[in-house]
Every structure is written in structure tokens, then in C-alpha cells.
Structure 1
């Protein structure tokens, strides 16, 4: 099987278990809320905000093959156009959000880079007491 390596949409300045971006992230609770600054890290659990962010970038909900356990998705991902989605398995939004909610994840993301270009940065964070 020919597998392509998928670029990781993570901030290279964040190490494993580093909660700095979450502490300084602006909470967004609805699609009508706007960030104070477009290049800052944002955090939400709102399904509409997450879905809108992904769809604006052409990203679709996905998981990694064979990661499902007990009827729940294993790894939640977004399949961005042109980033090796052949190794990802598409899933329905409802199933993606069911897993997101069951794990009490928070969605960290960014709208724009400091230069104004659109950012694909995103990361799922576990509940705060697990950090």
C-alpha cells in the first residue's frame, strides 16, 4: 500500500503536553463572535463554529483507518484538499461530533497567520484536568 505522509497542522512551537496556547486562547462560543485579533489562537466546543471553520477551508471530517473502537472513531482529523487525504477515511459530521463530545475535546484553531493569509492550524485538546 502506497501511503503518503500527511503534513501535520500543528504549531511547531508547541511541544507535547504544552498547554500555553490553551491558556492564552480566546474562547469563541458562537459563530457570531469575532476574534479580538485574527492571528490569535482561538478555542471552542461549538459545533457550528468548528464546521464553518473547516468548510471555509474545504476540509471534511475524517478519521484514520482502523482506529475505530467500540463503535467510536479513534482519531479525529480533517481532510484538507491537497494534503494526502488518501490515507484518511471520511466520516459524517454527526459521527465526528459524537466522538468530539464524548471525549470532551476543545477545538484550538486560528483564522489567519500574522501575515494575513488563511491558517489551517487546528488541534484537539483533551479536558483541562488531563493536561
Structure 2
């Protein structure tokens, strides 16, 4: 059985992303929109060069994350025990 964890702790989010080969990113077409754009964790090893994601720094990423009052829902392992890169951003309660 796989389980998910939810947090808004910056250090936990950054550590999870880096452990899984992820970097902070924003969907390129939304970067200049009100609210700072749509956040993503980009996994360069698992995508092609034509990605619509624009990598950003952690400070910019977390400013948008906090301004939009988001939480990070993530999974460490799949049900079969394999490493998981599942995550999503949800409204902070």
C-alpha cells in the first residue's frame, strides 16, 4: 500500500524534490500571470527537451507557493515499493 504525506515545510519539499532528481519550475506560459504561475517539480531525467516548464530558483518557487497558500502532497514509494515521483499541490487548510 502506498501512502501520501502533506506539508508546506520548505525544507521537506526541497529535500523530497532533490532526492527524486527534481528541480523547481513554473509552467512557462503562466510565469507572468497573476499569482506567479503554475508550479511544478520538474524531473529533467524523465522529460524531453521540448518541455513547457521553465526552471526557477527555490526562493521564487516558495514565494509563489506561500502567496497561493499551497500544501505539497507527495508520495515516497509506490504500492510495489518502487520510488515514486507522484506529487500535487493542494490548497492549504
Please report the TM-score for the alignment, with normalisation by the length of structure 1: 0.63
- Kindly tell me the number of residue pairs found equivalent between the two proteins: 90
Residue aligned with 1:78, SS:
strand
Q: Which has the larger radius of gyration?
A: 1
Give the aligned partner of residue 82 of structure 1.
46
Please report the TM-score for the alignment, with normalisation by the length of structure 2: 0.87
RMSD: 1.7
Q: CA deviation at 1:126?
A: 1.4
> Which 5+ residue runs of structure 2 have no aligned equivalent?
none
1:94 and 2:59 matched: yes
Q: Which has the higher strand share?
A: 2
> Which 5+ residue runs of structure 1 have no aligned equivalent?
1-36
Q: CA deviation at 1:87?
A: 1.8
Matches for 1:1-131 after TM superposition, within 5 Å: 39-67=2-30, 68-70=32-34, 72-80=35-43, 81-84=45-48, 86-128=51-93
Q: Which has the higher helix share?
A: 2
Q: Which runs of 4+ in 1 moved over 4 A?
A: none
